[in-house]
Structure 1
Amino acid sequence: MNIKKITLFLLAVIMVFTLAACNTKTPIEDGNNTGNGNTVVDPAPEGETATVKLYFANQEYIMNGDESLDHTIEVDREVKIGEKPIEEVILEELKKKPEDEKLTTVLEKIKVLSVETAENIAYVNLSGENLNGGSMEESLILQQIVFSLTELEEVEGVQFLVDGSKRETLMGHIFIEEPLKKSDVEN
């Protein structure tokens, strides 16, 4: 054999061993860190949960229009927090239909673009798409969001934005140019 063939053979052997070493899997222990840097990580961690107060539209009020009825009704719900700001989690939960058949949400078709809190004001940026309806629907949207977000200790009011800008109203009935407090939208 000549030197060239021997060198090529040795390089091929080295490459095979190198690739084999790269594909070797180190077993991971069941349990905590074993000191070798291998830790079992739960692919779906449970995360931290919190109980939040959400306000949903009263179905009976919507059907009858009886002003003596509560327009919205408070519901306590367990939510997972940590990955998203609590304000964002609350708005996501408000879009889901409540389990109680006597309640509903008017936020199902409303797209929330963002929500941020600064200086005790939650800035809720809604898409202008699907923002149409009567004064009852507009009032219930504002109540669901304002009542639910102001239950948070750090939120005193809610400033609504539509497509990133302040507007006079959401649907033409209730002024939203300034941050709204719970007392501003109560029935």
Structure 2
Amino acid sequence: MLSRRLAWKIGMGMLILSLTVLFTLAGCKNQETSEQPPNNQTKIAKSTDENEQKNGTSKPDISAEPKETKEKVTLYFGDKEAMYLVPEKREVVVGNNKLEEVVIAELIKGPRNADLFMTVPKEAKLISVEVVDGVAYVNFNKEFQTKHWGGSAGEAMTLYSITNSLVKLPDIDKVQFLLEGKKQESILGHADTTEPISPNWTMVKE
């Protein structure tokens, strides 16, 4: 009688132990399955990434290079007799510069037309240009003055070449000339440059 009861207890103990091990293994398998994404979700995510790459929307353009935007400007250079200003239209690359800066730089380079003459000394350098209430404050280095060829006619060609070219741009009506950051009574020796200068269209010959 005792042997039967002992055998029954041992059998029940083995059964309970087997069930415990089985349930433990089943729980671990379910946990591993829950941690892994379903295959269809993986495929959807992969497909979305591929579409973004094709459409160019996956990564923003963070290039440090400025966009080379182009603008059409009108520059004024001297004629052979140094009596009139003649317009020269050209397309310029702006990049990360101000359009006013580009215009001055092109004037310093001189005309492309062999029949026209430069109006700004090649040694002149633009320090800065700021536009405030319709006035462009153009600040040159001292070579703008010291390297100028002189004469009242040459002075007028220089001042109005710059002024007429700049007022062709939006939001500019007049030009205030500065030398090393300061106003000059007569920056090139004759005309009053203590106040902003308006364009002179009577000097222009088309």
* Residue pair 1:32, 1:39 contacting (<8 A) in 2 also: no
In the other structure, the counterpart of 2:138 is: 124
Q: 2:174 aligns with which of 152, 157, 161?
A: 157
In the other structure, the counterpart of 1:136 is: 153
Larger radius of gyration: 2
**TM superposition outliers: structure 1 runs of 4+ over 6 Å:** none
Alignment of 1:41-80 (within 5 A): 47-58=68-79, 60-62=80-82, 67=83, 71-80=84-93
**Identity value in percent:** 32
* Residue pair 1:139, 1:185 contacting (<8 A) in 2 also: no
* Residue pair 1:31, 1:39 contacting (<8 A) in 2 also: no
Structure 1 residues 140 and 31: CA distance shift in structure 2, 3 A: farther
Structure 1 residues 178 and 186: CA distance shift in structure 2, 3 A: farther
The structure richer in strand per residue is 1
Aligned-partner SS, 1:56? strand
TM-score, with structure 1 as normaliser: 0.69
In the other structure, the counterpart of 1:13 is: none
Distance 2:196 2:76 in 1: 19
Distance 1:130 1:38 in 2: 44
In the other structure, the counterpart of 1:19 is: none
For residues 120-177 of structure 1, give each alpha carbon's deviation from its aligned partner in whole angstroms, at most 9, with x where no partner exists.
0000011122514222221111011001001112100000111111111112111111
In the other structure, the counterpart of 1:11 is: none
Q: Structure 1 stretches of 5 or more lacking a match?
A: 1-29
Shift of 1:184: 8.8
Matched, 1:97 2:117: no
Q: How many residues align?
A: 148
Distance 1:183 1:152 in 2: 15
